[in-house]
């Protein structure tokens, strides 16, 4: 027997958003850029004390280094990334009735990822320093696939659910591979392997069903505004890796830590997917 389709919401997009969002959520989201700007306003000599030196790490700098930026361009880039990824993920969660999940994941990643990313960087001791919020932004980016599939399940009339979110994770890996090493054989092989895995998941999800017909039918049943937000989410997911993983990461005496970016994405997805898979937290919110 075929599974029943979860009906899409017929309430106006704006009214649902206003009824489910809160000033607490806005304050929570705005707190991070406020702290980043406040830290940047400190004297350079003070900021340097918060930077993680890989040859002389401390527990404090393992956390604080992720909130330090030494140039305006670096700060602006991370603020823009945060501004695209986090509010979008919040909207997807709120409109799919999973605001509490967003709050738990948001705070958990903010507290745990700096330590985890620093610890994994310390596995390779080198005479360098690390700083910047981009690894944590990538952790939130890793939460985006789960938020998208939860949104499609709840608000867009498509037969998908959280168990299929690894499709986007492996698609993200393929996109990152193309962004970083598209000109090399290794990049092509990694991207191809990731796309094969995506195909396996897609086959499991859709089987022999008419995908185009299902998509067209689902979009026709969806109230205006919901499908557009989902489309924005997909576009951001497919385009942001080309910003976070530049093909030439060296510039102005610094090196973009692509290793940290990849770790952030992977840890962000795996931790949130495992949380919901093992505990079911947040699936039955209304």
pLDDT digits 0-9 by tens, 20-41: 778 889 999 999 999 999 999 9
Overall average pLDDT of the 217-245 stretch: 80
Overall average pLDDT of the 48-76 stretch: 94
Q: Is the pLDDT reported for residue 286 higher than 50?
A: no
Which pLDDT value is given to residue 73? 92
Overall average pLDDT of the 107-114 stretch: 96
Residue 151 corresponds to which tokens in the numbers above?
Answer: 């949104």
Which pLDDT value is given to residue 175? 85
Which pLDDT value is given to residue 218? 58
Q: Is the pLDDT reported for residue 159 higher than 50?
A: yes
- Kind plus residue range of the DSSP H or E element containing 52: strand 52-53
Torsion 243-249-250-253 (CA) sign: positive
Overall average pLDDT of the 159-176 stretch: 77
Please, are residues 237 and 149 in contact by the beta-carbon 8 Å criterion?
Answer: no
pLDDT digits 0-9 by tens, 78-110: 999 999 999 999 999 998 888 899 999 999 999
Confidence of residue 160 (pLDDT cuts 50, 70, 90): low
Which pLDDT value is given to residue 7? 46
Q: Is the pLDDT reported for residue 233 higher than 60?
A: yes
Q: Is the pLDDT reported for residue 239 higher than 80?
A: yes
Which pLDDT value is given to residue 172? 87
Which pLDDT value is given to residue 59? 96
145 vs 206, residue with greater confidence: 145
Which pLDDT value is given to residue 2? 40
Return d(Cα 216, Cα 281) in angstroms, integer: 31
Which pLDDT value is given to residue 278? 64
Overall average pLDDT of the 44-66 stretch: 94
Helix (H, G, I), strand (E, B) or coil at 132: coil
Helix (H, G, I), strand (E, B) or coil at 43: coil
Confidence of residue 3 (pLDDT cuts 50, 70, 90): very low
Chain centre to alpha carbon of residue 214: 27
Q: Is the pLDDT reported for residue 139 higher than 80?
A: yes
Return d(Cα 117, Cα 153) in angstroms, integer: 32
Q: Is the pLDDT reported for residue 13 higher than 90?
A: no
Residue 276 corresponds to which tokens in the numbers above?
Answer: 């919901």
């Amino acid at each position: 027997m075929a599974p029943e389709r979860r009906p899409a919401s017929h309430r106006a997009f704006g009214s649902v958003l206003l009824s489910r969002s809160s000033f607490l959520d806005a304050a929570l989201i705005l707190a991070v850029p406020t702290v980043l700007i406040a830290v940047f306003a400190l004297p350079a000599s003070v900021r340097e004390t918060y930077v993680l030196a890989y040859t002389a790490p401390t527990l404090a700098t393992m956390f604080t280094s992720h909130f330090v930026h030494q140039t305006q361009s670096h700060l602006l880039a991370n603020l823009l990334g945060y501004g695209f990824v986090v509010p979008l993920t919040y909207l997807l969660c709120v409109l799919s009735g999973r605001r509490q999940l967003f709050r738990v994941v948001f705070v958990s990643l903010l507290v745990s990822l700096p330590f985890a990313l620093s610890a994994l960087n310390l596995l390779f001791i080198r005479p360098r320093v690390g700083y910047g919020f981009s690894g944590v932004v990538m952790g939130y980016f890793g939460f985006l696939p789960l938020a998208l599939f939860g949104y499609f399940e709840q608000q867009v009339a498509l037969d998908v659910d959280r168990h299929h979110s690894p499709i986007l994770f492996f698609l993200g890996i393929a996109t990152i591979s193309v962004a970083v090493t598209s000109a090399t054989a290794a990049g092509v092989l990694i991207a191809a392997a990731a796309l094969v895995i995506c195909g396996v998941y897609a086959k499991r999800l859709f089987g022999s069903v008419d995908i185009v017909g299902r998509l067209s039918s689902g979009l026709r049943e969806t109230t205006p505004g919901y499908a557009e937000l989902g489309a924005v989410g997909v576009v951001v997911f497919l385009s942001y890796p080309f910003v976070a993983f530049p093909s030439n990461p060296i510039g102005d005496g610094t090196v973009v830590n692509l290793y940290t970016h990849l770790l952030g994405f992977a840890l962000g997805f795996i931790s949130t997917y495992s949380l919901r898979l093992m505990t079911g937290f947040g699936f039955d919110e209304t």
